[in-house]
Structure 1
């Protein structure tokens, strides 16, 4: 099966550029494809809070309620703030564009770099968490976690390469099934509590004194709970993916996501508290709640199945937002220009493939146990959160549009809360997030190096008016030859067409072959000059290089161009290449990077 047929089967037939408008998302599909990360965090956000509180005692679990309220306050501030960002910057880019436009180049690059890394972590963490949910149901698969997670990343990568609308159509079902499953769970749980079916002594009353509790520990639990807010910014990065009016649709989708996230997170946290659920290594909090409410019946497995699906498919938020953020960075010349190219299905396929490969490498490196990456993952979001809020504050103070005081207040509150959470992360989880202080400066440095390269290239390629250009007076062609063959004859004929002077160069490894070649040449091509070079160490490159250096100097003195024309035969079957030494390819690569000459290849194709 040829590569093109396999590609057509996996990705689908190419789409015309004129079909780009058909690849835009409506609100329901966008909610599914861009909210999966935020909604999936409900599956572990409450658990992260309880894990910290459990280090004191089970009595401390009542603190999960005020901590959850704090998380909801922050969620409200972020939703209101990102609505403003969407309307102010409707072309997408989110925190990167806001920070770069209002705070300067380096803050923008810090925000952009943080988000790029964060989307890679999103995929790795989400897929690993989903794999854990699958292997919890089927323990015999646990030893294959890494392979299962890697295959799931490949599947999601291929799904996204098929196009935005196709992946959104597929992903909408599991996302909405997950929301339905948790609404059923929360509704049934609250009904059982209200109807007296749940004993009232399973939990510690709110306000109970907890010996050993400290502000430091409560702040650590709060910062852990804030992991439920990862993915909130994705919609602001992907505004161009929405149908018109894009900004309005994106803003409304953001509010819908915020409301659903608030309901699910509040419900799960409340049920975990009321039912006295404790975090266990072998079973998730959601699984324990479902078992308490429904028992181990079909509804329990429905909830576990949809939870596993949403955790895996949460990775799709990264696949939706990463390529668009990469487009913004590539447009500003901070990352390679290849990220600007649309693939066969009109998606930014280079960004999608890069994200897939980076995520698999991360999963393999951490052997599928990416829980320790969750704090790093959360910090990677809160840095852009803080920078984008601060950037909007600067924007309102500078522009002062109608109603700017209200907008300023929202962003100020958001900036203060996100900065506080960021400080809490660094003070309470420094051992887990210190690497941010190393890799972010490295990423920003790389961005600058790439930008400097592109600017230097642009400067060298630019045609300047009035600039004097040297007029060349002829072309000297050097043809390295390995013997007297049809390949060489073909190359010499072409060299005579393009060159004013043609010189054949033969490298001999002994005096006898050198003499024999000179005698044969006089009979065969007496009209073309042959230069023989003796190489006592059997090297082709060294004598050829020295000769080309001399020819280059001479050509420069006489205003001639110098072309090295390399004969090359092409075998009929690819596997046959390994039967021949590839000295022509090596010579071509060497000359392209080492010498200031024109290098060209004349192919001679074998028919059998």
Structure 2
């Protein structure tokens, strides 16, 4: 039943040979990998206005030059990451670039920041999508956590079904959002030009009392949250169809153009219409209601906005498992992240991301606005390290025509480094957890890597000198009585060794005497050792006996404990029986020189 439900939910298992069919063309890749970046249009301008409103509506005109600065930074990043795509065609983005050029620790900082950022992406995106829904339907505000968790569950299932299938499904909402935003921008501009809407924008260039460079930098850093997700394309080059680097570069440029136009358009409309941030209604909602009224167009725009914010999480689901795979390949994360699931996706990475982001939503009760600065900083640290790594690459290798890309990457590094410093200075109360969390993450990566290196050293052998040593085997069979299960186990043991002993632990003289009489009557051809337990424990007397056998036989024979176990037909039947065999195995696993074997007997009823 569980297997059938899994097939219904995820689809049929796919052959490894079908992996080539799971590659993305440019149209689908743009939808899957740019949904995070494009969705930031819904809150990027709002983040700028939230800072400026502290000085009153007169300061809102500063949103335009700040938005232009953000778009300029976007252009630099697009050009910089285009260089990265052609230099590192296997993907991995900032992690691979930083590790290859600046050392392992720097690579771990870049990659660790991105992994944390992807978790925050899912939490922030689903919460922002919930905000868009509750702006249109305030009655749902009390249920925002459940709505966000439901969204995470949906996008998780879609990604578990495979990247191509999820891209096919998610492609339409992403392009519908782009169309809706362009309609809003064009419609809003037309309504303003013909004077159909009475607006009262603040005077451009007006003197604002109390304005400071600190506040402007803070507003600029807040607006830079619109640039999260730009790096996803360079991380996911292996997901593209051939020629993968060329297709990835074209996808990156298209994403930058669309994002720049939409972000600047929304910022311009917010200024022209005199929009101020409202805790109960988003900026996009205010613009749409002003331009179209609360009719079908307004609700359509809110619906696709909520949908794109929800789908923004999909960028993280596309990039996180691939980055986790690369970490696992380098032995900095568990091997399970390298395993492809039934649908050829890295299922463990997808599930891990879903669980952590859901916990984050629950912990913050769906109000993740305070995570946005941390979320943005988690991207700008890898941005900076990636550009620095590319600078080192150009200087070290000096390929033909290297100076122009070197200048581009230098400009990108200096710009993103400046943004990081602005974040540290202006939002230290919100971004300080990264100074605690990143060292912990890197420490965990190091400990995992150390474990794998220790394991490799301990298991390594010299194939020329170290050969298996033939030994005999003494088999110990714990028995609770005489049954088909015990008969099945003894029969199997006799096929492996002549030195077999059965062990029975009794709690009373009467039990022990009955067992000895029955065994003598049955006479299966092996010895029975009867032990007395004064404390009604099977484990302690059994282990003392095994110690005795092990001490006597360690030099000449293997000591194997062969455990009889019946397998019930129904899962709930297990609840009706003592799990003594499981307990014995749990204790024996800690023993270095004792081998464990379980002989199952499957019940028919």
The TM-score range, normalised by the shorter chain, is: over 0.9
Q: 1:258-308, CA deviations, whole angstroms, 9 ceiling, x for partnerless residues? A: 011100111111111121110001110011111122222222122111111
TM-score, normalised to structure 1, is 0.97
What's 1:424 paired with?
Answer: 422
Q: 1:155-196, CA deviations, whole angstroms, 9 ceiling, x for partnerless residues? A: 111111111111111111111111111111111222233334
CA contact (8 A) 1:474 1:500 kept: no
What's 2:146 paired with?
Answer: 147
What's 1:361 paired with?
Answer: 359
Which of 566, 573, 576 lines up with 1:569 in the alignment?
566
Pairing 1:18-33 to 2, within 5 Å after superposition: 18-33=17-32
The 3 A distance-change label for structure 1 pair 152 and 363 is: same
- Structure 1 residue 467: Cα displacement: 3.0
What's 2:449 paired with?
Answer: 451
Task: Determine if the alignment matches structure 1 residue 603 to structure 2 residue 604.
Answer: no
CA contact (8 A) 1:472 1:561 kept: no
What's 2:510 paired with?
Answer: 512
- Structure 1 residue 60: Cα displacement: 1.0
Q: Within 2, Cα distance between the matches of 1:339 and 1:566? A: 33
CA contact (8 A) 2:37 2:227 kept: yes
Q: Within 2, Cα distance between the matches of 1:315 and 1:492? A: 56
SS class of match (1:156):
helix
Which of 508, 528, 531 lines up with 2:529 in the alignment?
531
TM-score, normalised to structure 2, is 0.97
What's 1:168 paired with?
Answer: 167
CA contact (8 A) 2:40 2:226 kept: yes
Q: Within 1, Cα distance between the matches of 2:81 and 2:165? A: 27
What's 1:75 paired with?
Answer: 74
Task: Determine if the alignment matches structure 1 residue 195 to structure 2 residue 194.
Answer: yes
Task: Determine if the alignment matches structure 1 residue 580 to structure 2 residue 577.
Answer: yes
Aligned length in residues:
605
- Structure 1 residue 312: Cα displacement: 0.5
What's 2:342 paired with?
Answer: 344
Q: Which moved more, 1:292-301 or 1:323-332?
A: 292-301
- Structure 1 residue 470: Cα displacement: 5.8
Which of 495, 498, 502 lines up with 2:496 in the alignment?
498
SS class of match (1:41):
helix
Pairing 1:369-518 to 2, within 5 Å after superposition: 369-469=367-467, 471-518=469-516
CA contact (8 A) 1:505 1:532 kept: yes
SS class of match (2:269):
helix
- Structure 1 residue 240: Cα displacement: 0.8
Q: Within 2, Cα distance between the matches of 1:458 and 1:494? A: 34
Task: Determine if the alignment matches structure 1 residue 85 to structure 2 residue 79.
Answer: no
Q: 1:431-469, CA deviations, whole angstroms, 9 ceiling, x for partnerless residues? A: 111111111111111111111222222223333133344
CA contact (8 A) 2:135 2:282 kept: no
- Structure 1 residue 519: Cα displacement: 3.5
Q: Within 2, Cα distance between the matches of 1:499 and 1:60? A: 88
- Structure 1 residue 198: Cα displacement: 4.8
- Structure 1 residue 527: Cα displacement: 4.0
SS class of match (1:368):
coil
What's 1:95 paired with?
Answer: 94
- Structure 1 residue 33: Cα displacement: 0.8
Q: 1:16-62, CA deviations, whole angstroms, 9 ceiling, x for partnerless residues? A: 22222211111111111110000000100000000011112211111
Q: Within 2, Cα distance between the matches of 1:235 and 1:577? A: 49
Q: Within 2, Cα distance between the matches of 1:71 and 1:586? A: 62
What's 1:39 paired with?
Answer: 38
CA contact (8 A) 2:135 2:285 kept: no
Pairing 1:209-288 to 2, within 5 Å after superposition: 209-288=207-286
- Structure 1 residue 340: Cα displacement: 1.4
Task: Determine if the alignment matches structure 1 residue 52 to structure 2 residue 45.
Answer: no
- Structure 1 residue 584: Cα displacement: 0.6
Q: Within 2, Cα distance between the matches of 1:390 and 1:508? A: 72
Task: Determine if the alignment matches structure 1 residue 330 to structure 2 residue 359.
Answer: no
What's 2:128 paired with?
Answer: 129
Q: Within 2, Cα distance between the matches of 1:91 and 1:10? A: 31
CA contact (8 A) 1:46 1:269 kept: yes
Q: Within 1, Cα distance between the matches of 2:450 and 2:204? A: 58
SS class of match (2:219):
helix
CA contact (8 A) 2:565 2:598 kept: yes
SS class of match (1:278):
coil
What's 2:554 paired with?
Answer: 556
CA contact (8 A) 1:287 1:304 kept: yes
Q: Within 1, Cα distance between the matches of 2:76 and 2:135? A: 36
SS class of match (1:565):
strand
What's 1:180 paired with?
Answer: 179
What's 2:307 paired with?
Answer: 309
The 3 A distance-change label for structure 1 pair 525 and 418 is: same
Q: 1:462-487, CA deviations, whole angstroms, 9 ceiling, x for partnerless residues? A: 33133344623300100111122222
Q: Within 2, Cα distance between the matches of 1:437 and 1:230? A: 20
SS class of match (2:590):
helix
CA contact (8 A) 2:391 2:409 kept: yes
Q: CA RMSD in A?
A: 1.5
SS class of match (2:554):
helix
- Structure 1 residue 556: Cα displacement: 1.7
